[in-house]
């Protein structure tokens, strides 16, 4: 059985993320969306909240599930017996960063491969950071994040203001 892991901070999940999930789900028997800790980021949502938000958006994909991990990605992958990391790329700058991470992961565990999936054109400019900024100003988020989480995002941003 082929199991792929799609790691990220997903703060919040965007339609771009969902596009990668949908495409990966069509290729692999199982896709594990893993909410990871990124110590260089100051997240809006807790890990538990992000897992819950993602859960609401992936129920249409029977072979996709969501979990969280505070371990190194390679340790998480070993525990799930997965050998494939899925990473979405929006621009060359994403590739530079993700390529370095892929090389590090390969050094830590030579059995792990990273599959880079280019973003669909309509999502190349969508990022969680941009979505959070737009939410602060009350922008229409319907073309950026799943409808299921828009109210949660707006409430969280308003509470932080």
Cα gap 151→16, rounded to integer Å: 18
pTM of the model: 0.95
pLDDT in tens, 52-70: 999 999 999 999 999 999 9
CATH of domain 3-124: 3.40.50.620
The SS3 call for residue 1 is coil
Query: Residue ranges of the domains in the chain?
Result: 3-124
Q: Radius of gyration (Cα) for the chain, nearest Å?
A: 15
Q: Which residues are catalytic?
A: 17, 41, 90, 128
At 21, the pLDDT band (50, 70, 90 cuts) reads: very high
At 93, the pLDDT band (50, 70, 90 cuts) reads: confident
Look at residue 5 in the predicted model and tell me its pLDDT: 98
Look at residue 160 in the predicted model and tell me its pLDDT: 82
Whether pLDDT at 39 is above 80:
no
3-class SS letters over 19-87: HHHHHHHCCCCEEEEEEECCCCCCCCCCHHHHHHHHHHHHCCCCCEEEEEECCCHHHHHHHHCCCEEEE
pLDDT in tens, 103-137: 999 999 999 999 999 999 998 888 999 999 999 99
Whether pLDDT at 7 is above 80:
yes
Average pLDDT, rounded, for the chain: 94
State percent of the chain over pLDDT 70: 100
Look at residue 125 in the predicted model and tell me its pLDDT: 86
């Amino acid at each position: 059985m082929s199991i792929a892991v799609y790691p990220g901070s997903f703060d919040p999940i965007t339609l771009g993320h969902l596009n990668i999930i949908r495409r990966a789900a069509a290729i692999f028997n199982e896709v594990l969306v893993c909410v990871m800790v990124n110590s260089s980021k100051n997240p809006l949502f807790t890990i538990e909240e992000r897992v819950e938000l993602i859960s609401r958006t992936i129920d249409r994909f029977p072979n996709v599930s969501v979990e969280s991990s505070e371990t190194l990605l390679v340790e998480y992958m070993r525990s799930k017996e997965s050998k494939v990391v899925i990473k979405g790329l929006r621009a060359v700058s994403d590739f530079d960063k993700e390529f370095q991470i892929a090389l590090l992961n390969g050094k830590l565990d030579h059995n792990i491969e990273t599959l880079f999936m280019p973003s669909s054109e309509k999502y190349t400019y969508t990022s969680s950071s941009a979505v959070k900024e737009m939410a602060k100003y009350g922008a229409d988020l319907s073309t950026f994040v799943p409808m299921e989480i828009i109210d949660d995002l707006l409430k969280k941003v308003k509470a932080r203001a």
